[in-house]
A and B are shown apart, each in its own frame.
Chain A
Amino acid sequence: MKIRNQRDFGAGIMYMVIGLFFAIVARQYQYGTAAKMGPGYFPFWLGVLMALIGLLVLVRSYGAKAAIESIPKFRWRIIAQITGAVILYGLLLPKMGFLVAVVVLVFVSASASKEFTWKGTTINAAFLVTFTYSVFVVGLKLQFPLLPFFLQQ
């Protein structure tokens, strides 16, 4: 037997793993009875249902009628640059402040584009910092650590 639809195969596995995970963890919580349900009752059965649906998706990916589809390639460089930019923002914000964090976020994420230019990104970063600072900090008065820790009074 051959997997005809690899995307469905992958989705089926994913559903089964997640469903089983939720069902197994739900066993730790009190189950109760139908009339007096504990916190484990509803998630347990939802998890079981999810695993069953996963199994169905998985089985059907072998079916003679399944469309032949393969999972498109993961572009790890783009993933790393976008996700990395966001995580960097999270790491920098508390210590280095809003301004540094936003500028780093713009430059790291912009470098994921094939059309990246230093000049364009600098203009974009300057615009975004000014814009977000005036809207969120001045306008909506939201609280952020603004400057790096060594510049704060």
Chain B
Amino acid sequence: MDLFTNLALGFETAFTLQNLLYCLIGCVLGTLIGVLPGLGPIATIAMLLPATYALPPIAALIMLAGIYYGSQYGGSTTAILLNIPGETSSVVTAIDGYQMARNGRAGVALFTAGTASFFAGCVATLILAAFAAPLSQLAFKFGPAEYFSLMVLGLIGAVVLASGSLIKAIGMIILGLLMGLIGTDVNSGVSRYAFDIPELSDGIGFVAVAMGVFGFAEIMGNLEKTGDDEGFLNKLTTMVPTKTDIKRMIPSILRGTTIGSILGILPGGGAALAAFGAYSVEKKSSKYSHEFGKGAIEGVAGPESANNAAAQTSFIPLLTLGIPPNAVMALMVGAMTIHNIQPGPQVMTSNPALFWGLIASMWIGNVMLILLNLPLIGIWVKLLKIPYRFLYPAILVFCCIGVYTVNNTVFDVYVTAAFGLIGYLFFKLGCEPPPLLLGFVLGPMMEENFRRALLLSRGDFTTFLTRPLSLGLLIAAALLVVIVALPAVKKTREEAFVED
């Protein structure tokens, strides 16, 4: 079967010494930032993008991917031991994981989180491998109208599923789209919104926007919080689960993996949403529902498998359609374009070693992560003690060095500073930045496909509605908005985002 030859190629690529090394670096970094609160995958990947210039494309992508799924492992450690979720996707793990730790079962909770993540990661990698080929075949049938409608669906999906205020998030998307248009228009050669500043003729740097809004602005926001109260660090206990533990966690892991895999593929899905979804399913379906909030093992197993599965399957839309489903994947688009790879269905045919190598590396990465996380947990726990006052100057230093090296100009450093201020304003006004980043990446692509679609239809706007695939995608987008507006859904949705 094709799948096996492809996977064989993938493992052949991933098993070179260099790629294994970068996979390991990615996983270690991912675990590290997962453990450190106040530093998330978006900021880290943005910080490291410039450093990947020097690497071959495959090594760069393997490392960046490792950071993302690795952070899902690391985030649970702090959630369980300290009740501080290292990542937003571990917020729900903290609920029952921390209670388990208080009951003297920290080791079992960590073991559960690790195995759940590992199982889910492996399954999701297989799903990714199996679905990639048929989906990218479908993508070849797409014309500009379909691509435009798909991006509309993707962007709508991103805000519907993943943010608080719907209308404000749509505003952020449009702002991102507009910012993406800054620079030279490829069709006419006209420089737009550059105001004769030569550095702007190539557009605003992607790295500068991401670092400013997610790195600098977050630091300023974090510094405002009064007194970082030292949480109670639970002692590590035995990791060996009892028979009942195993019996109770297996169905939860299976359910969590399924939920996570599905929610990961959806636009706007991703790890955090999957974890929330899995937790509520576990709570509703479990016969131990009275134990939830007091240390139920299902409350760790379900969300932890879901967030890892979703982190992995969210690569599917990126790799097959070239459309990033969330902000981290938008950064991966940035990484691919840095290396002159146009994300989309053609990657698989034109660059099979890269495509399958990346997928294979994810499986290898999961093995590395479970080894990194379970036996070596003690080291990560020590890292928890690094205070934020040492951490944030380091983040600033890495950002400043990184953004300078993109074009070797300090202009980009100032742009990043400006976006830090803009991001801070967003934070104060309650506008969430991830949709902005998605819009920013998709802006030029969206305009291009919009123009081409209308050129082909000779200016007839109904082209988006008369082509069946395009119509279907637009209907799906409209349905999403309608569903969210339903009172019952609106209420649960608001509850889910209360945490933010």
Contact = CB atoms under 8 A, between A and B. Distances in A.
B400 interface: yes
A112 B417 CA distance: 16
Given A50-B174, A106-B393, A136-B401, A57 B190 contact: no
Contacts of A91: 410
Contacts of A11: 168, 171, 429-431
Interface string A22-50: 10011001100111111101110011011
B54 A141 contact: yes
B178 A47 contact: yes
Interface in B205-259: 216, 219-220, 223-224, 227
Interface in B375-407: 387-390, 392-394, 396-398, 400-401, 404-405
Interface in B398-422: 398, 400-401, 404-405, 408, 410, 413-414, 416-417, 420-421
B398 to A, nearest CB: 7
B425 interface: yes
A86 interface: yes
A83 interface: yes
Nearest to B421: A83
Contacts of A136: 51, 401, 405
Contacts of A4: none
Nearest to A33: B459
Interface residues of A, number: 72
B192 A86 contact: no
Nearest to A42: B447
A56 interface: yes
Given A42-B450, A57-B167, A132-B401, A14 B425 contact: yes
Contact of B393 (A74, A110, A114, A115): A110
A142 B54 contact: yes
Nearest to A5: B430
Nearest to A129: B397
Contacts of A71: 428-429
A78 to B, nearest CB: 5
B292 interface: no
B476 interface: no
B410 A93 contact: yes
A85 B396 contact: yes
Contacts of A102: 397, 400-401
A30 B188 contact: yes
A8 B169 CA distance: 12
A120 B224 CA distance: 20
A87 B185 CA distance: 30
Nearest to A121: B393
Contact of A82 (B171, B388, B396): B396
Given A36-B455, A57-B171, A86 B416 contact: yes
A37 B449 CA distance: 12
A26 B192 CA distance: 8
A128 to B, nearest CB: 5
Contacts of A75: 220, 223-224
A126 to B, nearest CB: 12
B335 interface: no
A53 B404 contact: no
Contacts of B461: 34
B414 to A, nearest CB: 5
A87 B458 CA distance: 49
A112 B400 contact: no
Contact of A46 (B165, B178, B396, B430): B178
6 contacts: A11-B168, A42-B447, A46-B178, A90-B413, A105-B397, A142-B401
Q: For the complex of A and B, list the 10 residue pairs with the smallest distance between their C-beta atoms, beginning with the closest.
A: A35-B459, A34-B459, A90-B413, A113-B389, A39-B185, A90-B410, A11-B429, A7-B430, A86-B417, A39-B190
Given A50-B178, A53-B171, 4 more contacts: A25-B193, A29-B190, A42-B450, A105-B396
